[in-house]
Amino acid sequence: MIEQFNRDGTLRHLITLANLNRTQLNALLDHAETYLVGHAHYAPREPRLLGRTVALLFFEPSTRTRVSFHLAATRLSADVVTLDGDASSRVKGETLLDTVRTLEAMHTDVFVVRTAEAGIPALLAGHIGRGKALINAGEAHCEHPTQGLLDVLTIRQHKPDIRNLCVAIVGDIRHSRVARSAAQALGILDVGELRLVGPEPLLPDTNEFDGAVRYAELEPGLRDADVIMALRIQRERMRKEAGIPSNDAYFKRFGLTAERLKAARGDVIVMHPGPINREVEISSAVADGPHSVIGRQVTNGVAVRMAVLARIAEGLSGTP
Amino acid sequence: MIEQFNRDGTLRHLITLANLNRTQLNALLDHAETYLVGHAHYAPREPRLLGRTVALLFFEPSTRTRVSFHLAATRLSADVVTLDGDASSRVKGETLLDTVRTLEAMHTDVFVVRTAEAGIPALLAGHIGRGKALINAGEAHCEHPTQGLLDVLTIRQHKPDIRNLCVAIVGDIRHSRVARSAAQALGILDVGELRLVGPEPLLPDTNEFDGAVRYAELEPGLRDADVIMALRIQRERMRKEAGIPSNDAYFKRFGLTAERLKAARGDVIVMHPGPINREVEISSAVADGPHSVIGRQVTNGVAVRMAVLARIAEGLSGTP
Amino acid sequence: MIEQFNRDGTLRHLITLANLNRTQLNALLDHAETYLVGHAHYAPREPRLLGRTVALLFFEPSTRTRVSFHLAATRLSADVVTLDGDASSRVKGETLLDTVRTLEAMHTDVFVVRTAEAGIPALLAGHIGRGKALINAGEAHCEHPTQGLLDVLTIRQHKPDIRNLCVAIVGDIRHSRVARSAAQALGILDVGELRLVGPEPLLPDTNEFDGAVRYAELEPGLRDADVIMALRIQRERMRKEAGIPSNDAYFKRFGLTAERLKAARGDVIVMHPGPINREVEISSAVADGPHSVIGRQVTNGVAVRMAVLARIAEGLSGTP
């Protein structure tokens, strides 16, 4: 297991939320709040990463997370280089580890890594030198720590008393890094009740998501929920693993509609990590309606990534 | 119809040139001139967009327009993010509108959009919030307003008395957003005479290009012209819609050669939006010759885009 | 032949190292050293290219060289635009020369060009205007001058007495621009002995690499060497042109192993331009072992490119 904190308590890497304590997690969320001014704007640019180089290594396609990290790093005044998945070094078959070693030799300070293979972020973090940092930007079905942070920040902003909340995650929980990181963060904050709602074959193994309650039907899963997090589904997986033949069939069973939302609390908030499949996971009326906080999640995403980068900046070696 | 100006008269969006008046158009051209120092250099960088984020959404391939906007935004000190047409969010099937909503939630201030589909820029502009702006960077066959601006700026620099000019546009006018935006701009400036020259099937419908004179043969179309604008042709369309079997055949009928230029005024200027097909629309002797102002058009393009961005900056909301 | 120096002795272009003298070469290496602070960090950012535009035209895939130039230009405060090989203007068939002309009209100051075709960098340099510069970032099998510079800088750092060194280059010398540029630089610095080691069909013609000694077997080629430079091999070429059927077969004959290194000097340094094919050109034990200076080459690469850009900045025209 990679040690995520330096001896002096500063953040070194962010690979997983699993071993953060409540104080550490809340400190990151509090720091993120300082970048948000009145919900409508970000605070002015900070020079914390001036002269530092942040490399975005996205070995899996992503727009929103890549752009979110890009803007977060830029707003902290970093230099940013981007390597995409099908980018040139991979054409020549260079290994991931050698790519990271090369970028490190060019004095990259922070590596932001997204990968479809489990274990890669920790593996890479274990090989980079002292005074350098790595942030997991999404790893297979396992981890997506900055997504977990932005999700609990969004929940905290709307419903600060997390110990008394009922949160329902809806969709393909089994293959979802978003669900895992959210569940970790909610667990650290002692969430009142966590529900996992989805087709039976797409619920996780019972040794995972400790303490969560499982529902194979939507309506009972939503009853009196304070927070509903819809997950993005993959059509092929839905068909092959859950036997749900079409997007319409999924929407009929698990799609969030205004009608179904009535089972939840009157002030329920509805979340989605995006990009949303309209009329599949969620109706447009709900996605764009008064309960939706999907836009806030995106805004919080940049702030959370700025906070993680800012914290990590404290432990970087050398002068920038 | 999207309102392009704020109530206080500042520019909000630039979707089309169609409803600008002469004062507004000339003000943009005058502003662009301030970024040009003695034809050879741009004025020093301005901080007008410092802390602002400009997103380049190019859902159709383009080098020159994308790089031109990128440099314009950078020289006004903006942060720039780029999303290409085959980029990752499209891979996942996200709608254009949701992409824009997401970037807006990350506090993008200005969207620069190029698209092969008509109506998209206005549609997106209608959905983005107050204090945000959208610039049309090329829309189907309909609009390319910054191209129209750079074209009339180039003409004005060489031949300021536009009311007495004869301008001939040569090529596939029917499918050309460049021709439409140039015609709009020239119309606003009361051009003396506008000629549309091209193969009959590629001339526009008669309810378009009000007041323009049509020519299905090159020579009479060029006679005594002050300005000739060649358009880029697409070989397949030329073959299928105009029955012109090859590039050579097109060059024989409509290619601009030094010989044919003799029909025009002695001080005629020759323009092309680029990229040029040498020995198809234009001979190299003409493209690189004394009448060509093609390089000036490119230089003016950055200045015009800086002017549009600078004007729009005045109406952006919040502190940067 | 393109003149690489201005009349006042400042560097204008860097197309080849071939016609540099020892003073000029050492001045570039000395300048590069100023960007390296204690092997571990780069010196703080310099404003030498503030307001200047550097265009990276990579018409052949490359990660490390592109990122290296990008960081070098950024650390000198330049604006950087990137055009990749399959980028949009090529989609539309624009010629390379027209792309360069367009970027020049947008006031690009420095062109960094990588191309698989020989002669392109000199051709383009011959067409760009006064006060603009071009740097060759890799040209067919012919030239890779900044690689040559970083290679001799790395050698000089470890073994300053180059006149008394024996340097062995191992691999497909015939098709290697890395070997050619290194040999040029070493020749200028009067290297003691240069050996070319590789399969017979992949050794260069005898009218090239003047004064070098050729070895078709590895062990005698390495004997008492001070410096070993392994080259990256291409499997298909190895198979077709050298009759070596597999990576394993190549490794057996020419792979650098700890065992084979014993033939060389005890303090031999091992170099590779990267990306490395582990267990093909070089064993992991050697690549990551005490003799390897591969990481230093990468670090030096950024410093050398900063030095070249900084020297070129002195001759750029206009105010930035």
| CA-angle at B10, arms to B7 and B16, nearest 5° | 100
Residue C103 lies inside a defined structural domain of this protein = yes
Distance CA A146, CA A32 (A): 11
CB contact under 8 A, C93 and B275: yes
DSSP state of B281: T
Q: Cβ neighbours of residue C153 under 8 Å, at least 6 residues apart?
A: C29, C32, C33, C300, C303, C304
Residue B11 lies inside a defined structural domain of this protein = no
ipTM of the prediction: 0.93
Q: Which amino acid appears at position A129 of this protein? A: G
Residues of chain B in Cβ contact (below 8 Å) with chain C: 40-42, 44-45, 58, 61-64, 66-68, 70-71, 74-75, 274-278, 295-299, 301-302
Nearest CA in chain A to B54: A71
Answer yes or no: do A26 and A63 share one domain: yes
DSSP state of B5: B
List all chains that touch chain A, counting a touch as 3 or more CB pairs closer than 8 Å: B, C
| CA-angle at C84, arms to C79 and C85, nearest 5° | 150
Closest CA to C42 of A318, A77, A102, A48: A318
pLDDT at B93: 42
| Model pLDDT for residues A156-178, shown as the tens digit of each residue | 999 999 999 999 999 999 999 99
Residue B215 lies inside a defined structural domain of this protein = yes
pTM: 0.94
| Model pLDDT for residues C124-156, shown as the tens digit of each residue | 999 999 899 999 999 999 999 999 999 999 999
pLDDT at A23: 97
Contact indicator for B274, B147 with CB cutoff of 8 Å: no
A and B: number of Cβ contacts within 8 A: 68
C317 chain-B contacts, CB cut-off 8 A: 40
Answer yes or no: do B83 and B95 share one domain: yes
Answer yes or no: do B237 and B285 share one domain: yes
Nearest CA in chain B to C100: B64
Answer yes or no: do B115 and B248 share one domain: no
Answer yes or no: do B152 and B274 share one domain: yes
- Picking from A46, A60, A71, A154 by the largest number of B CB atoms within 10 A of its own CB, the best residue to mutate is A71
* Residue A40 pLDDT greater than 80, yes or no: no
Nearest CA in chain A to B79: A74
CB contact under 8 A, A94 and C68: no
Distance CA C32, CA C307 (A): 5
- DSSP per position, C86-154: T-HHHHTT--HHHHHHHHHHTT--EEEEEESSTTHHHHHHTTSPTT-EEEEEEETTTB-HHHHHHHHHH
Structural domains counted in chain B: 2
Six-digit token pair at A226? 């304070």
Positions in chain B short of pLDDT 70:
38-41, 85-94, 319-320
Compute how many other C-beta atoms are within 10 angstroms of the C-beta atom of residue C119.
11
Distance CA C147, CA C159 (A): 18
Residue A7 lies inside a defined structural domain of this protein = no
What distance in Å separates residue A41's CA from the closest CA in chain B?
A: 7
Q: Which amino acid appears at position A307 of this protein? A: A
CB contact under 8 A, B67 and C95: no
What distance in Å separates residue C95's CA from the closest CA in chain B?
A: 9
Residue C8 lies inside a defined structural domain of this protein = no
B301 chain-C contacts, CB cut-off 8 A: 106
Nearest to C41 among A89, A95, A107 (CB): A107
Q: Where are the beta strands (DSSP E) in chain B?
A: 36-37, 41-42, 53-58, 79-84, 110-115, 133-139, 166-170, 193-197, 213-215, 227-230, 269-271
Answer yes or no: do B171 and B60 share one domain: no
CB contact under 8 A, C106 and B62: no
Residue C320 lies inside a defined structural domain of this protein = no
Nearest to C107 among B41, B70, B277 (CB): B41
Answer yes or no: do B100 and B227 share one domain: no
The residue range of the domain holding C165 is 145-294
| Model pLDDT for residues A56-67, shown as the tens digit of each residue | 999 888 889 999
Contact indicator for A254, A198 with CB cutoff of 8 Å: yes
List all chains that touch chain B, counting a touch as 3 or more CB pairs closer than 8 Å: A, C
Residue C5 lies inside a defined structural domain of this protein = no
What distance in Å separates residue C255's CA from the closest CA in chain B?
A: 40
CB contact under 8 A, C107 and B302: yes
B and C: number of Cβ contacts within 8 A: 67
Rounded to a whole number of angstroms, the CA Rg of chain C reads 19
Answer yes or no: do C206 and C138 share one domain: no
Closest CA to C186 of C161, C222, C223, C216: C161
Residue A58 lies inside a defined structural domain of this protein = yes
DSSP state of C279: T
Distance CA C26, CA C149 (A): 9
Answer yes or no: do C93 and C197 share one domain: no
CB contact under 8 A, A64 and B319: no
Closest CA to C82 of C98, C48, C59, C116: C59
Q: How many percent of chain A have pLDDT more than 90?
A: 85
- Each of the 320 residues of chain C gets a pLDDT tens digit; together they read 789 999 888 899 999 999 999 999 999 999 999 999 865 567 778 899 999 999 999 988 888 999 999 999 999 999 999 987 554 444 344 578 899 999 999 999 999 999 999 999 999 999 999 899 999 999 999 999 999 999 999 999 999 999 999 999 999 999 999 999 999 999 999 999 999 999 999 999 999 999 999 999 999 999 999 999 999 999 899 999 999 999 999 999 999 999 999 999 999 999 999 999 999 999 999 999 999 999 999 999 999 999 999 999 999 987 65
What distance in Å separates residue B315's CA from the closest CA in chain A?
A: 15
Answer yes or no: do C75 and C158 share one domain: no
CATH number at residue C52: 3.40.50.1370
Compute how many other C-beta atoms are within 10 angstroms of the C-beta atom of residue B92.
15
Distance CA A74, CA A68 (A): 10
pLDDT at A9: 87
What distance in Å separates residue A221's CA from the closest CA in chain C?
A: 48
A and C: number of Cβ contacts within 8 A: 68
Answer yes or no: do B150 and B289 share one domain: yes
Six-digit token pair at B51? 């802390």
What distance in Å separates residue A3's CA from the closest CA in chain B?
A: 31
Largest distance between two CA atoms of chain A: 57
Answer yes or no: do B157 and B291 share one domain: yes
pLDDT at B91: 39
Nearest to A91 among C41, C61, C64 (CB): C61
What distance in Å separates residue C269's CA from the closest CA in chain A?
A: 17
Nearest to C106 among B45, B275, B299 (CB): B299
